[in-house]
Amino acid sequence: MPREAAVVGSPIGDLEVVVESGAVVAIRFDATAPGTAGPSADPVLGAAVAQLAEYFAGRRRGFDLPLRPAGTAFRQRVWAELATIPWGTTTTYGAIAARLGLPPGASRAVGAANGANPIPVVLPCHRVVGSDGTLTGYAGGLDRKATLLRLEHVATAADQDALF
């Protein structure tokens, strides 16, 4: 199957969803490439577009899509762990490192893998925060990360600061 893409409007800007050989391989921020505007002939692309629209409308908490992110074995392990973080919750880079059985100090390597996630939103790297709960590192920018967490009803440290 050829590579096919669609642009999805969202509260965090236009996203380009890329599907190849029956699986989502990328979601890119600041979509500039033209994509299909209407229904796609590719059922996976159609499902991805529909599920993202439902997520951004607050009607979906998880994704049911075939994914094929390209990366090293280590990155694959980290991305698989991202998929286990429930909607509306956060975890830390250190906690992911510990769950993967990595030595202390491996949180930086986890952060680097998190930052290289080619399928953001669906593989929820936005749910990973610093050890003190602050928003740190997000390939799409911290404003997008905060927006995604607010969409999931997660109060960020900045939200809490605004209350006091």
Domain ranges of the chain: 4-56, 73-163
Helices and strands in the chain, H and E counts? 6, 5
Which CA distances in Å does 25 have to 20, 44, 126, 163? 6, 11, 18, 40
Cα within 13 Å of Cα(116), Cβ side = 17
Asked if 10 and 52 touch (Cβ cutoff 8 Å), the reply is yes
Architecture of domain 73-163: Orthogonal Bundle (1.10)
Q: Which residue has the higher pLDDT, 138 or 37?
A: 138
Length of the chain: 164
Per-residue model confidence (pLDDT) at position 40: 60
158 pLDDT band, cuts 50/70/90, is low
* Mean pLDDT to the nearest integer, 38-66: 91
Residues annotated catalytic, as ranges: 125
Which DSSP helix (H) or strand (E) runs through 19?
A: strand 15-20
Per-residue model confidence (pLDDT) at position 17: 97
With 70 as the cut, is the pLDDT of residue 37 above it?
no
Per-residue model confidence (pLDDT) at position 163: 42
At 23 the three-state DSSP class reads strand
Q: How far apart are CA 98 and CA 107, in angstroms?
A: 9
Q: Which residue has the higher pLDDT, 141 or 126?
A: 126
Per-residue model confidence (pLDDT) at position 39: 54
For residue 155 the two structure tokens come to 């109060």
With 60 as the cut, is the pLDDT of residue 36 above it?
no
Q: How far apart are CA 126 and CA 55, in angstroms?
A: 14
Mean pLDDT of the chain, nearest integer: 89
